Structure 1
């Protein structure tokens, strides 16, 4: 989402040169051979989309999700991706769900199937030695109609499975739009968090451009003992990707103390 004016491989190089790690979305749109070469040169990929099609809430969609998750594991191994990201259903090019639910959301049968599906995902992760993360989304701005989208939903599902191979990708941009109380949410979700993603509201740009005081969130995460990945899933305001990266680092630099002194956002190379 930053350095968007550059070809994809150059974006990856530019981010890596700043001492940061890289995340990618759907691997089908990438030159996986080239990404694997970059990984061999030291680029760290913290996560990638861990499925390509499928749904959590119905048997046919669940089988499809598990099959594409298995294919994603092989790609993830090639680039060294440390987490494989999931949503409640497949998302189209504009972020809308391929299979939306109505205004009342998922029914009880869909919830039961989603829990069973995620247990199967966790079992797959255990067999293959990988970790899947389930990301929360917002319903009012970016992803209306997506089932199991709210942070409360994803926390309920992941904590119910309670496997080290299934964690939360806690996206605080989405949570601020849908639920608020970000520090309280982080505290409740802490035992199951695999990654925290950040962007400001409104606009989905870097910290400091909107209403979230990320310095306070970062200090709270530090106090809670969080030592995982913090991902900048945000657009660069004004098109200035360097400034956007600096803003993200500045928001967390006072709270986190990674080996290079710049914080968890830098994703230190020895992160477990």
Structure 2
């Protein structure tokens, strides 16, 4: 989402030169050996290509492409692989919309995530389940709220399945971010941030990320905070604002 004027490998090099780790989305469109050759440290990548958590065919696809994703994670040594409540198309829309899951959907989703966690455990990696928002970016996505993803991760209760707590999405869908961070802390594998509205760097919208950073420090959080945001103007300016917000 940054340095979009550059070829992808050059974006990775630029972030590495600026002393940031790198996250990538769909690995199937990337030259993973070329990315590994940059020397960058990769924090996360997409953990599946197709599928969902609840339907028979979707579960089979999800598990199959998750296994392939784990193998590809070895190339760039990505410790975390990201999941959503269902497969998303290139525009971020759910391939199988279902905004209100049934009770049986919840049971199936927890079972599927437990199977994924076991795959990750054997591979020495972690799947992270990301919350999304349905009001702006991902309408119709099941298990989208942070409360939903937290409930599922708690139900599975495996170190190989954690939350990717996206505070941009949570602000749009739920708000009350500081209390959300406090509640979710034991299950967080990563935190992602962008400001609201606009999905740009901290300081461009309504979220006071400095206050959230202070709470994270006080809680002893020492994990990754990822900037999943567009630059409001210049990518380096955006990265400086991000770093400033989280240096406490």
Give the TM interval when normalised to the shorter protein.
over 0.9
Deviation at 1:109, TM superposition (A): 1.2
Q: Which residue of the partner structure matches residue 23 of structure 1? A: 23
Structure 2 portions without partners, runs of 5+: none
- Report the Cα distance in structure 2 between the residues aligned to 1:58 and 1:140, rounded to whole angstroms: 24
TM-score by structure 1 length? Answer: 0.90
Q: Which residue of the partner structure matches residue 35 of structure 2? A: 35
- Report the Cα distance in structure 2 between the residues aligned to 1:222 and 1:19, rounded to whole angstroms: 21
**Contact conserved, 1:58 with 1:114, CA < 8 A, in 2?**
no
Aligned length: 248
Structure 1 portions without partners, runs of 5+: 255-272
Deviation at 1:151, TM superposition (A): 0.2
- Report the Cα distance in structure 1 between the residues aligned to 2:33 and 2:224, rounded to whole angstroms: 25
Does residue 1:213 correspond to 2:208, yes or no?
yes
**Matches for 1:1-272 after TM superposition, within 5 Å:** 1-38=1-38, 41=39, 43-102=40-99, 105-238=100-233, 240-254=234-248
TM-score by structure 2 length? Answer: 0.99
SS in 2 for 1:237: coil
Deviation at 1:76, TM superposition (A): 0.5
Deviation at 1:84, TM superposition (A): 0.3
Deviations 1:153-184 (A, max 9, x none): 00000011110000000000000000001010
- Report the Cα distance in structure 2 between the residues aligned to 1:72 and 1:36, rounded to whole angstroms: 15
Deviation at 1:36, TM superposition (A): 2.3
Deviations 1:80-136 (A, max 9, x none): 10100000111111110111115xx11111111001000101111111111000000
SS in 1 for 2:206: coil
SS in 2 for 1:231: strand
- Report the Cα distance in structure 2 between the residues aligned to 1:53 and 1:99, rounded to whole angstroms: 11
- Report the Cα distance in structure 2 between the residues aligned to 1:156 and 1:226, rounded to whole angstroms: 20
User: Which contiguous aligned blocks of 4+ residues in structure 1 show a shift greater than 4 angstroms?
Assistant: none
**Contact conserved, 1:100 with 1:145, CA < 8 A, in 2?**
yes
- Report the Cα distance in structure 2 between the residues aligned to 1:196 and 1:127, rounded to whole angstroms: 24
- Report the Cα distance in structure 2 between the residues aligned to 1:52 and 1:208, rounded to whole angstroms: 33
